[in-house]
Amino acid sequence: MSKPSGVSFTRRMPDNVTEELVGVLSSRASFEFKPLFDIVLLNLRERNAASGGEEMLRLRVYEKLQGLVGQGAVNRTITGTTKKYKGVAPRMRGLKAEMKL
């Protein structure tokens, strides 16, 4: 079966959660998850992009954060029971440039 003509690839909508995470983690500061989530939530609400409820958004932010850790764009430091997250500058610049395309 052939592909219908006129159908082409369309770019997905921008990922607002990842954009905000990259924006916040691009600073030189390190964050625990709770303060990081509070900043991301505030920024998303300012952009009117926070939808789906706070708990669902918390899960999405955590999932995206773990994805960034897995890619090596974010360092996770565990001290006792606290986990702190800090962006890796060269990787953050690369992600920012990738999102602007």
Report residue 64: phi and psi, to 5°. -65, -40
Q: Does residue 1 surpass a pLDDT of 60?
A: no
Return the bridge partners of 80, or none: none
Cα separation of 2 and 87, whole Å? 45
Angle, to 10 degrees, between the axis of helix 89-100 and the axis of helix 16-25?
150
**Residue ranges per domain, the chain?**
16-100
pLDDT in tens, 15-66: 889 999 999 999 889 999 999 999 999 999 998 887 778 999 999 999 999 9
Place of tokens 């995206």: 64
Answer yes or no: are the C-beta atoms of 54 and 37 closer than 8 Å: no
User: Between 1.10.10.10, 3.40.50.300, 3.30.2130.30, 3.40.720.10, what CATH number should domain 16-100 receive?
Assistant: 1.10.10.10
* Structural Rg of the chain based on CA atoms: 16
Q: Provide the whole-model pTM.
A: 0.80
